[in-house]
Structure 1
Amino acid sequence: MTKLSVNINKIATLRNARGGNNPDVVKVALDCERFGAEGITVHPRPDERHIRFQDVLDLSPVLNTEFNIEGYPDKRFMEIIRKVKPAQATLVPDPPNAITSNSGWDTITHQEMLKDIVAELKEIGTRVSIFINPEAKYFEPAKSTGTDRVELYTEPYASNYSINREWAIKPYVEVAHIARELGLGLNAGHDLDLHNLKYLKSCIPFLDEVSIGHALVCDALYYGLENTIQMYRRQLEG
């Protein structure tokens, strides 16, 4: 069964728009778990425009499912991981001013840096996933870093799904099998939603985890949070 990790960044964005603590990020995270989420994902950025450092500290001791912290592995990110020791750290190559993640790692160019970061994270006791484009050339170098998993950057798949879903999924299926042959766990995330998730899962049934935030929160405005999480869970069944 592929796990659903709910990214709650957009909940924090809504709270920050007015100040105060409404909605309460910790309460929403716990409700997501209660409604069926099997993990909680956050991406604390240096400017704290959504998730704040304090949110990470507040969430860590109360979550009952896997805590996944995404981010660029700079000094601040590594300090957060050392303090919190989450179940998983997902390394993304975003510059500090990026609006959202828009590409995976060049694991060839950055292999030595990633090796050092991965080794440090695993010494902490945290599982490591590297955000990666669906290009075969990056997978063996990713394996060489020592990472436990890779997370497929699925925005190109989502963008092309309505045009030709068989063509859109083809490179992902190819690299998914490469990852499996290399012994890498497989996550996926970015722009996955109720329209394209089921097909992704049917074509790559051995996905370990998907991380979904923006689309899920948007759907919750119409369907309600509990119902929406169950709707996403149903897309991952089978």
Structure 2
Amino acid sequence: MTKLSVNINKIATLRNSRGGNVPNLLQVAKDVQKFGAHGVTVHPRPDERHIRYQDARDLKDVVYTEYNIEGNPQHNFIDLVLECKPTQVTLVPDAIGALTSNAGWDTITHKHYLKEVIAEFKRNGIRTSIFVDPVVAMVEGAMETGTDRIELYTESFAHEYGLGNFKGIEPYVAAAIKANELGLGINAGHDLSLDNIKFFKENIPGLLEVSIGHALICESLYLGLENVVNMYLQKMK
């Protein structure tokens, strides 16, 4: 079964919009695990506009499933990850001020930098994943960095699927086949939703984990958080 990691950034956005501690981020992390999610994901950014660095520290004592911290491996982020020692760190090439993640790594151009950072995380027993576009050459480049996994950036799939173009899955299938050949684990995330997750999961061989936040939280506003988590779990059996 593909694992579901719930990204709780949007909970922090809602909390920060009013100040105080409502909704309670730590309680939400506890609840999604209680409802059956296999992990919790956060993506602290330098401006801390949603997840704060202190949130990431506080969550390490709350997440008892898999804890995944995403971000651009700048010095402060690297220090945070080494302090928290999550199950997994996902490296994302976010530009400062980017609204959301919008591209995968060029694993060829940045191979030596990624290799150095990944080696440090692996020395500390932290599983590593690299955010990549569904391009076979980028998957091959990821292999050269020493990463454990890749995370396929699924925005283009979600967009094409929403237009009724099911062929938008094809580059993801090719990337997944190459990753399997190379022995890389496969994660995926960005704009996956209840509408498209079943089709994606059924077509991607060896899909280990998806990280879903924006859609899941929006759907939860209508359907209820416990219901949505279990609906995802049913679709991924």
Query: What residue in structure 1 maps to residue 27 of structure 2?
Result: 27
CA shift digits 1:128-151 (9 cap, x unpaired): 000000011111111010000000
Q: Using the TM superposition, give the Cα deviation of residue 205 of structure 1 relative to its aligned residue in structure 2, in angstroms.
A: 4.2
Equivalents in 1 of 2:40, 2:117: separation in Å? 22
Q: Using the TM superposition, give the Cα deviation of residue 114 of structure 1 relative to its aligned residue in structure 2, in angstroms.
A: 0.4
SS of match in other structure, 1:208:
strand
Which runs of 5 or more residues in structure 2 are unaligned?
A: none
CA shift digits 1:120-174 (9 cap, x unpaired): 1101110000000001111111101000000000000000003344311011001
CA shift digits 1:7-51 (9 cap, x unpaired): 000000000000000000000000000001100000001111000
Query: What residue in structure 1 maps to residue 215 of structure 2?
Result: 215
Query: What residue in structure 1 maps to residue 193 of structure 2?
Result: 193
Aligned residues: 237
Question: Could you tell me whether the CA contact under 8 Å between 2:177 and 2:205 is conserved in 1?
Answer: no
Which runs of 5 or more residues in structure 1 are unaligned?
A: none
Equivalents in 1 of 2:178, 2:76: separation in Å? 33
- Residue 94 of structure 1 pairs with residue 94 of structure 2: yes
Matches within 5 A, 1:90-129: 90-129=90-129
Matches within 5 A, 1:44-193: 44-193=44-193
Equivalents in 2 of 1:43, 1:34: separation in Å? 21
Question: Could you tell me whether the CA contact under 8 Å between 2:176 and 2:205 is conserved in 1?
Answer: no
Q: Using the TM superposition, give the Cα deviation of residue 95 of structure 1 relative to its aligned residue in structure 2, in angstroms.
A: 1.1
Q: Which runs of 4+ in 1 moved over 6 A?
A: none
SS of match in other structure, 2:129:
strand
How many percent of aligned residue pairs carry the same amino acid?
58
Matches within 5 A, 1:33-48: 33-48=33-48
Equivalents in 1 of 2:215, 2:3: separation in Å? 17
TM-score normalized by the length of structure 1: 0.98
The one-letter code sitting in structure 1 at the alignment partner of 2:127 is R
Query: What residue in structure 1 maps to residue 12 of structure 2?
Result: 12
SS of match in other structure, 1:107:
coil
SS of match in other structure, 1:176:
helix
Query: What residue in structure 1 maps to residue 229 of structure 2?
Result: 229
Q: Using the TM superposition, give the Cα deviation of residue 233 of structure 1 relative to its aligned residue in structure 2, in angstroms.
A: 1.2
SS of match in other structure, 2:207:
coil
The one-letter code sitting in structure 1 at the alignment partner of 2:6 is V
Equivalents in 1 of 2:216, 2:63: separation in Å? 19
Equivalents in 2 of 1:82, 1:206: separation in Å? 29
The one-letter code sitting in structure 1 at the alignment partner of 2:216 is L
Equivalents in 2 of 1:92, 1:115: separation in Å? 14
TM-score normalized by the length of structure 2: 0.98
The one-letter code sitting in structure 2 at the alignment partner of 1:161 is Y
